[in-house]
Chains A and B, each alone.
Chain A
């Protein structure tokens, strides 16, 4: 390999690394600033450029009555909605994916591939198309501004991902293992739960991670379908942005909200290295 290639490669990686890290570093320094050190122009290094304060972080745990932001409740709302919707999507999606991978369906011109496509195609639907009917529909059954309403909507967002990943995963699990289980006297459900499922844990983890990512990062539906009773984290933080923008607490809350998903990045990378994602995108 040429030296030039190596040089270009490492320069490119360095530049991209700086680009990826820059907003995080900026948020981290900003979170320790106060009014004076923000409004005096951009500063970077604590103690040298500005005197670090803990104001931005303290505000997060104060109650709103004392001028705090209270992101704890939205945090748990977000966690609850994301995890519940992901769990339901994974359970239902895995069952459907197993059926689509192992059995043949035929109803007129509709075959397995068409059903799989129907599931996955829900991702094509622009959120805005669904938002207006969901807004009116949830309003009609009194689920607007509630956790349950959001979970229902998130299932539509997440189940396609679960089906997409799991169909491909089951296609790679050899059919012989369920056939052997059936010959050994299991019924189809025992074969699925006792034999196939334990062999599919990597697939389930990858699918679960993707559901959690796409549930956690949604803003649009939470923004349109909730108002005051229930607030999710992204909506809460963006609402901070519209007021007089206290950059320090904004940065601190952004970092807090981003933190749990960093763990997810490690898990995704681990399963990626083992080659478990490869089938999912063909």
Chain B
């Protein structure tokens, strides 16, 4: 290898490294869009949000968007849902609701995918937590302007009567 070649490679390496450094330096300064994650940049580590407490009450919530599966108002710590047992259904299945006073799972949960009504919960609906989730008291990151259709209808009626 001649001296000239060594020099060329050395220059190339230096240019490459400097280039990398410039690029790396640019990124932390690039402001991130002010989305759900407020302020800071992509490379900055902001402190983790506080842990939220699980909500443990009773009663139903209204939905926050169309076709939302009802949320779980109570805590479900250590509830076992597997092929041996389903803790949710111990209160929410048809026969137990008379004892527990819990809302019964809706009739759609007895239908298979061809809308054939089965005698018991359809296997595809068995794992409750795929759709229904418990809530915490965390502040929502974004607001919600959703109005249920009942509200829209009422507003419409009020407007037309004025």
Chain B binds chain A? no
